[in-house]
């Protein structure tokens, strides 16, 4: 057999371009060989600190030993039956543990899927089945996935929705509060009232879906008052409140669910990403009587709640307890925020530093103006940081927000090293 030549990033990129459609984007031209906690090494042996965590999937880091061990053990017993055909205990145990974690003093039920988009799709199905209503209200700059229903809910056109319409009907968008850009909580709630006046009567709205902190939209934090008033509005009209916690959940913000900061109990919560430490798993948790609205066979999926992913998710919950990761998330948030604020005091291009717990970001504006988004600088900063050994991601409606999603298990030393790279990369670009 002929020996394969050693791979390098450039040749793998060339093969990727030839074999894979360009629609599957790639932030950085790097191919991983190995990952360990908050560090990765590429196929050329270069080391990177990982501030992206596979887009909010690795709150417990790459290959946490407890999670690896749990999956290996599961692998030795069975890997797939389809839960609807032959059931298995890890699925049930995980549902019980998530029910106990979800906010709200009422009975809950949980079921599992594979991707975040699927969880959102199913939350909408359940809300429709329970209320007998069809309409759904989502928010500007919100992101809910790439399937056709979730793209309809997503409040950002390029690149997600471009060319893919028409989207399902009966979806309406209200304005997400954004004090930096002049949208107050009152403005936002008034925009929902406007939907009721202009588009659909409140009595036909099944659900309002909201991210407690918008992820792809730019780490915009929903003020607690907004979420509380949204809850009251939903109660007034018999509308279900869905919290999309796919990016904010699994301890990212210092509580297991970000909505806990507001004291609000949603009717349904969607989860995915970090809940299974890198294995494909998503969930919908909600009020038991709402979750039981669809009839038998109405929910599920061939791979939904895969045994390996359930074993990983149970281990993630154990690691959160053993490594005290909620506390760590809060500490890390303070450390990252202080560091970004110090950077902002020296760099007027940073027009805002914001976040909740360890979900932290900075927004870049031309000439220090928050109304002139600087997507070009953001792109250059992420590229320069990668060149210097830090995987960094952008987000935001205008692509001008740098977000930090470093594993909560990262040491202060690694976090500070990553922050120093951001600092140096920004200085290098500005000196250019
Ligand atoms: C808030 C939110 N909802 C839904 C999704 C879609 O999840 P997935 O990419 O697993 O389908 C994402 C993914 O980034 C997300 O951040």
Distance 4 CA to ligand 1 centre (A): 36
CB 408 within 8 Å of CB 325: yes
Residue 367 CB coordination number (10 Å): 9
76: three-class secondary structure by DSSP: coil
Residue 259 C-alpha to ligand 1 middle, in angstroms? 17
DSSP assigned state of 49: E
Residue 133 tokens read as 């209503």
Q: How far is the CA of 326 from the centre of ligand 1 (A)?
A: 22
5 band by pLDDT with thresholds 50, 70 and 90: low
* Residue nearest ligand 1's atom 16 by CA: 247
Question: Which of 272, 279, 301, when mutated, tests ligand 1's pocket best, judged by the most ligand atoms within 8 Å of its CB?
Answer: 272
What pLDDT score was predicted for residue 367? 93
Residue with CA at minimum distance from ligand 1 atom 7: 116
Provide the CB-side half-sphere exposure for 70 (13 A, CA): 22
Closest ligand 1 atom, residue 115 Cα: 10
Measured by CA distance, the residue closest to atom 3 of ligand 1 is 144
Token reading at 194:
């406007």
Three-state DSSP class for 271?
Answer: strand
Position 93 pLDDT exceeds 80? yes
Q: How far is CA 206 from CA 202, 283, 324, in A?
A: 9, 20, 38
Find the 144 Cα to ligand 1 centroid distance in Å. 5
Q: Which atom of ligand 1 is nearest to the CA of 214?
A: 1
pLDDT of res. 2: 64
From 150, 244, 245, 246, give the residue whose CB has the most ligand 1 atoms within 8 Å, as the site to mutate. Answer: 246
Q: What atom of ligand 1 comes closest to residue 280's alpha carbon? A: 10
Tell me which of 117, 222, 253, 356 to substitute to probe ligand 1's pocket, judged by most ligand atoms within 8 Å of the beta carbon: 117
Q: Is 117 in the pocket of ligand 1 (CB under 6 A)?
A: yes
Percent of the chain with pLDDT over 70: 99
Give the pLDDT confidence of 131-184 residue by residue, as tens digits.
Answer: 999 999 999 999 999 999 999 999 999 999 999 999 999 999 999 999 999 999
DSSP lists the bridge partners of residue 307 as none
Nearest to 215 by CA among 56, 30, 60, 82: 56
- Kindly report the protein residue whose alpha carbon is nearest to atom 10 of ligand 1: 116
Strands (E), 66-142: 108-113, 135-139
Q: Which DSSP string corresponds to 315-344? A: HHHHHHHHTTHHHHHHHHHHHHHHHHHHHH
pLDDT tens, residue by residue, 225-281: 999 999 999 999 999 999 999 999 999 999 999 999 999 999 999 999 999 999 999
- Supply φ then ψ for residue 223, to 5 degrees: -60, 140
Q: Is the CB of residue 115 below 6 angstroms from any atom belonging to ligand 1?
A: yes
Task: Look over the chain and give the mean of its residue pLDDT values, rounded to a whole number.
Answer: 97
pTM, entire model: 0.97
d(CA 209, CA 124): 9
Owner of token pair 């060319």: 163
Task: Report the C-alpha gap between 279 and 74 in whole angstroms.
Answer: 13
Query: Is the pLDDT confidence value at 1 over 90?
Result: no
Quickly list DSSP for 115-130. Answer: SHHHHHHHHHHHHHHH
Q: Which range (1-5, 89-93, 289-293) has the least confidence?
A: 1-5
The reply to whether ligand 1 has any atom less than 6 angstroms from the CB of 272 is: yes
Q: Is the CB of 246 under 6 A from ligand 1?
A: yes
Distance between Cα 128 and ligand 1 center (Å): 21
Contact criterion met (CB below 8 Å) for 80 and 86 = no
């Amino acid at each position: 057999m002929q020996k394969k030549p050693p791979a390098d990033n450039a040749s793998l990129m060339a093969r990727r371009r030839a074999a894979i459609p360009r629609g599957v984007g790639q932030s950085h031209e790097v191919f991983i060989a190995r990952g360990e906690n908050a560090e990765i090494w590429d196929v050329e042996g270069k080391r990177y600190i990982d501030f992206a965590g596979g887009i909010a999937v690795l709150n417990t880091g790459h290959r946490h030993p407890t999670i690896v061990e749990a999956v290996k053990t599961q692998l030795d017993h069975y890997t797939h039956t389809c839960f609807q055909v032959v059931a298995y205990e890890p699925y049930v145990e995980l549902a019980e543990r998530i029910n106990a974690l979800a906010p709200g003093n009422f009975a809950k039920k949980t079921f599992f899927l594979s991707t975040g988009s699927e969880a959102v799709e199913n939350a909408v199905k359940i809300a429709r089945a329970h209320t007998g209503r069809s309409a759904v209200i989502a928010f500007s700059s919100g992101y809910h996935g790439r399937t056709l229903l979730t793209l309809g809910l997503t409040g950002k056109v390029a690149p997600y929705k471009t060319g893919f319409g028409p989207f399902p009907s009966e979806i309406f968008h209200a304005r997400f509060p954004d004090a930096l850009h002049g949208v107050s909580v009152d403005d936002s709630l008034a925009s929902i009232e406007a939907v009721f006046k202009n588009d659909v009567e409140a009595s036909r709205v099944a659900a309002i879906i909201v991210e407690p902190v918008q992820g792809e939209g730019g780490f915009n934090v929903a003020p607690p008052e907004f979420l509380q008033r949204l809850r009251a509005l939903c109660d007034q009209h018999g509308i279900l409140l869905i919290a999309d916690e796919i990016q904010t959940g699994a301890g990212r913000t210092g509580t297991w669910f970000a909505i806990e900061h507001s004291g609000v109990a949603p009717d349904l919560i969607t989860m995915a990403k970090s809940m299974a430490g890198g294995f494909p798993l998503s969930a919908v948790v909600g009020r038991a009587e709402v979750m039981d609205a669809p009839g038998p066979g109405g929910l599920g999926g061939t791979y939904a709640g895969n045994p390996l992913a359930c074993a990983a998710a149970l281990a993630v919950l154990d690691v959160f307890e053993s490594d005290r990761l909620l506390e760590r998330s809060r500490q890390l948030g303070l450390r990252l925020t202080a560091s970004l604020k110090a950077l902002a005091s020296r760099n007027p291009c940073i027009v805002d530093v914001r976040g909740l717990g360890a979900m932290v970001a900075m927004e870049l504006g031309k000439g220090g103006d928050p109304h002139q988004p600087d997507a070009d600088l953001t792109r250059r900063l992420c590229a320069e940081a990668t060149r210097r050994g830090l995987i960094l991601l952008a987000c935001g409606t205008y692509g001008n927000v740098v977000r930090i999603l470093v594993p909560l298990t990262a040491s202060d030393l690694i976090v500070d090293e990553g922050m120093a790279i951001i600092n140096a990369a920004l200085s290098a670009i500005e000196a250019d």
